[in-house]
Structure 1
Amino acid sequence: MMERFAVSPFGGKGMSRAQFLVNERVLRARGSQERQKGESSATQKADKRPSVDKWKLIRSLTEAKSHFGLSDRAIVVLEALASFHTERHFGPVEGLVVFPSNAELSVRARGMAPATLRRHLAALVSAGLLMRRDSANGKRYARRDESGVIEAAFGFDLAPLALRAAEIEEAAAMARKEAASLRALRSEVTIHLRDISKLVEAAFHEGRGNTFECFARRLEALSGRLTRNVDFKVLETRRNGLLELRRDLEAAYLAGAEEIDPPADEASDSAVKMSACARQNERHIHNSESDQQIEINKGEMIEDGFAAYQPTLLTAETTDTEVTENRDLKDRAPKQDADDPPSAPKTPPIALDYVLSACPQMHDYVPGGLRAWHDLTRAAETVRMMLGISTDAWLQARKVMGELDAAIVVAAILERVAEIRSPGGYLRHLSSRAATGRFSVKPMLAALAAARLRERTTGSAA
């Protein structure tokens, strides 16, 4: 039989130059192997054991499929064809023509449709990993002699696959290296996102939201969704952007760290003073678990995530006398008639933009827009009536806290109204704490701003 026999496809399909060159490579490899066998000594048997494990080779091809332009289903078809070769190992010098029927090939290809089979077979031929050996009538079969030895076989030749084993292994090693680099880069991006988010959140908790709002916006711009097959260049660009953001953020955070560190005497005054009274300690137990719920006056329940940043707890430092005095604060506080003008508002040491970024719902109650503090106080008057806060509780809060702080508290209550059972009772409770110097609006706003930052970061990362 001639060496270049049955190299053209059956029917109207044309033969490309690449397919002819694949056949030439197979012929040269077989000729080289035959010459090596002829030159071997008579006492030394030639090693006929194939050197390529077909299943390991297909696994390597699966890892390097993008290099050869193959899909996962094309690999399934190649695996099905390889299963028709009875030996586990093969080489390009052997007869590697398999001749399965369409029905059996479809079964071994996990029930793939005939049209899909033909498409993926064509892809394997175009990739140079498979070669057609079509018979005169296009049928796949083997012709045997009287002793049962195959004289000629027509079907699909797997010799190109065995011939390119070294190339496949090299491409697979390169693919594994690129995948490892991509995993490391993705992990680095994730860690940068986490560290930057926590640092910005810490700055918000410290009441520096005005300074760090720009960093929060930059973080949000770099926190988009990453697809499973994201390109390495895209991931590298994001990593570089996060590195730049991290350098700027850490420099700004360290530059302003000394401004927020409290003096030693202030820290000592704000420390919790525990009483030695066993009865008091038994009645006031503070559980610091993050998932607890905290009960305050009037029976309302507030999530720890909101209350942790505002001193609204009846902690162990609160004596029985203090509790009684706080409950009677309304009777002891100076009375203010409804007709009396409120005290002149004092501008708090908080920027209006920071308040509105933490409490954005207040914008909905000022048709002309919130541009000044007096707009906020007018909106708070509308909101407190909508929340059911009585005039008496509202006047008490304005008297104790001041007009602006009371308006800020109402804006904060509006943000968490779904978690507060009694807004009026809650406002009275905060007024009682403000009267004894145990309440400030700054930690409350910091908690709301940090919660909004977490929501934006989590939503972008998802």
Structure 2
Amino acid sequence: MQTGSVTTPFGRRPMTLALVRRQVALADIKQGKTADKWKVFRDVSAAMELLGIQSNSLAVLDALLSFYPENELRHDSQLVVFPSNVQLALRAHAMAGATLRRHIAILVEAGLIVRRDSANGKRYARKGSDGQIERAFGFDLSPLLARSEELALLAQQVLANRATFRKAKENLTICRRDIRKLITTAIEEGAQGDWQSVEDIYVTLVGRIPRVPKLADVTTILEEMEMLREEIVNRLETQINSENHSSNDAHIEQHLQNSKTESIYEFEPGSRIEQGAKLSEMRQVRREPVKAFPLGMVLKACPMVADYGPGGAVGSWRDLMSAAVVVRSTLGVSASAYQEACEVMGPENAAVAVACILERANFINSAGGYLRDLTKRTERGEFSLGPMIMALLRANGQGSLKAG
């Protein structure tokens, strides 16, 4: 087999260092190495996008392999094929000459074949006295043998990526369906909460899905969709638990009212007050705070707030609220302004508002005044954090923000 030597292309075709490296690498093929040419071809077909070739390039490679008489590419065999352009075009499904030459160049550039040009650029073989080919000029298939393991790994990678992509698309479809139906159910059955903001977030996420999505696109959107679904479920579970507790309280109160009048508590001073206090305590059910947005989404929209968290990180809502207190002081927001925001918005949403203000701090003259304005607008039902969060998500890393 003709390996280990470097040849330059005939005519005006340029020589590059990449071509030199590829030809030198052929000298490293192990003695006795073999590979099924059609298996290698299938691997190349599967990995065509990673190799930067096209379907017509595969047709030309298929035709070149058909001129190699054996099924196995072997280290000790003659791996140079030398068909004319006419013969090659016929086996490549009557491909036009210009198209044929372009895709031969693509195969060479992809490192799948090497040109072995003669002095005059013709393709032919010179035979010895025993009738065996001593030297051939044409297209060397040695790179396919040398890279057989690499090509197999590339093909496996492509197949694994396709499976992952298919699974991610299925999960995204299911997640979209779940969110859509949960929001509809919450609105139709009058569940408490700003479901219009949740709806806006969902619509924005759906709008970010490209017409022809790639794996990275689907994975990113799926992650945010799953966080949104989790938050919706948490909010609905919180409300269901709250209703169950309220129902239990009413049942307990009715039971106490219908209990025997001989109860020892009636004969003790202040017993009615004590009973009322106990009932009040039972009604004060410990509820999970209702967050308007998934924490992960907030941190993506407001990455700067993490620096103010405990240990320079925010891993929970408690951490975010702690960071908001530090940010509030840093931005010069008064304690009263922040307390009022907590009372109107809720402590979690107030912390989110402070994190958003921090992101836009360079464009806000008075952070305290801005927070008070947001609080008043929230109280009047004129403000929702949803658009602000989505605006920061879109603007993050895409240029400066303007204070609105």
> 1:54 maps to what in 2?
37
After TM superposition, give the deviation of residue 4 of structure 1 in Å: 6.5
Q: Distance in 1 between matches of 2:14 and 2:40?
A: 29
TM score, norm. by length of structure 1:
0.48
Q: Which has the higher helix share?
A: 2
> 2:185 maps to what in 1?
202
> 1:456 maps to what in 2?
none
Q: Distance in 2 between matches of 1:204 and 1:94?
A: 74
8 Å CA contact 1:84, 1:100 repeated in 2:
yes
Work out which of the residue numbers 52, 77, 91 in structure 2 matches 1:108: 91
> 2:8 maps to what in 1?
8
Q: What pairs with 1:40-439 in structure 2 (closer than 5 Å)? A: 51-145=34-128, 148-208=131-191, 211-224=194-207, 226=209, 230-257=213-240
Q: Distance in 1 between matches of 2:57 and 2:196?
A: 51
Q: From the superposition, tell whether residues 226 and 147 of structure 1 become closer, same or farther in structure 2 (CA, over 3 Å).
A: farther
8 Å CA contact 2:9, 2:116 repeated in 1:
yes
Instruction: Tell me the alpha carbon deviations over residues 51-95 of structure 1, each in whole angstroms, 9 at most, x when there is no partner.
Output: 311111111122222332223332222122111111111123321
Q: Distance in 2 between matches of 1:192 and 1:101?
A: 56
Aligned residues: 245
- Secondary structure at the residue paired with 2:138? strand
Q: From the superposition, tell whether residues 246 and 62 of structure 1 become closer, same or farther in structure 2 (CA, over 3 Å).
A: same
- Secondary structure at the residue paired with 2:99? helix
Query: What one-letter code is carried by the residue in structure 2 that aligns with 1:162?
Result: L
Q: From the superposition, tell whether residues 6 and 234 of structure 1 become closer, same or farther in structure 2 (CA, over 3 Å).
A: closer
8 Å CA contact 2:34, 2:145 repeated in 1:
no
8 Å CA contact 1:26, 1:163 repeated in 2:
yes
Q: Distance in 1 between matches of 2:4 and 2:241?
A: 84
Q: Distance in 2 between matches of 1:2 and 1:236?
A: 47
After TM superposition, give the deviation of residue 117 of structure 1 in Å: 1.9
Q: Distance in 2 between matches of 1:236 and 1:217?
A: 21
Q: From the superposition, tell whether residues 5 and 243 of structure 1 become closer, same or farther in structure 2 (CA, over 3 Å).
A: closer
After TM superposition, give the deviation of residue 236 of structure 1 in Å: 2.0
8 Å CA contact 2:113, 2:140 repeated in 1:
yes
After TM superposition, give the deviation of residue 21 of structure 1 in Å: 2.6
> 1:22 maps to what in 2?
22
Q: Which moved more, 1:85-94 or 1:16-25?
A: 16-25
- Secondary structure at the residue paired with 1:223? helix
Q: Distance in 2 between matches of 1:82 and 1:112?
A: 16
After TM superposition, give the deviation of residue 210 of structure 1 in Å: 7.7
8 Å CA contact 1:92, 1:160 repeated in 2:
no
Which structure 1 residue ranges, 5 or more long, are not aligned?
Answer: 34-47, 264-462
> 2:334 maps to what in 1?
none
TM score, norm. by length of structure 2:
0.54
Higher relative contact order (CA 8 A, sep 6+): 1
- Secondary structure at the residue paired with 1:143? strand
Instruction: Tell me the alpha carbon deviations over residues 74-130 of structure 1, each in whole angstroms, 9 at most, x when there is no partner.
Output: 222212211111111112332111111212222222333222222221122122221
Query: What one-letter code is carried by the residue in structure 1 that aligns with 2:8?
Result: S
Which structure 2 residue ranges, 5 or more long, are not aligned?
Answer: 248-404
Q: Distance in 2 between matches of 1:133 and 1:228?
A: 44
Q: Distance in 2 between matches of 1:62 and 1:229?
A: 22
8 Å CA contact 1:130, 1:156 repeated in 2:
yes
8 Å CA contact 1:74, 1:121 repeated in 2:
yes
Q: Distance in 2 between matches of 1:201 and 1:167?
A: 51
8 Å CA contact 1:26, 1:92 repeated in 2:
no
> 2:293 maps to what in 1?
none
Q: From the superposition, tell whether residues 227 and 112 of structure 1 become closer, same or farther in structure 2 (CA, over 3 Å).
A: farther
- Secondary structure at the residue paired with 1:100? coil
Q: From the superposition, tell whether residues 147 and 92 of structure 1 become closer, same or farther in structure 2 (CA, over 3 Å).
A: closer
Query: What one-letter code is carried by the residue in structure 2 that aligns with 1:70?
Result: I
Q: Distance in 1 between matches of 2:206 and 2:215?
A: 16
8 Å CA contact 1:6, 1:133 repeated in 2:
no
Q: From the superposition, tell whether residues 168 and 4 of structure 1 become closer, same or farther in structure 2 (CA, over 3 Å).
A: closer
- Secondary structure at the residue paired with 2:125? strand
- Secondary structure at the residue paired with 2:206? coil
Q: Distance in 2 between matches of 1:135 and 1:223?
A: 59
Q: Distance in 2 between matches of 1:203 and 1:107?
A: 65
Q: Distance in 1 between matches of 2:132 and 2:239?
A: 87
Query: What one-letter code is carried by the residue in structure 1 that aligns with 2:21?
Result: L
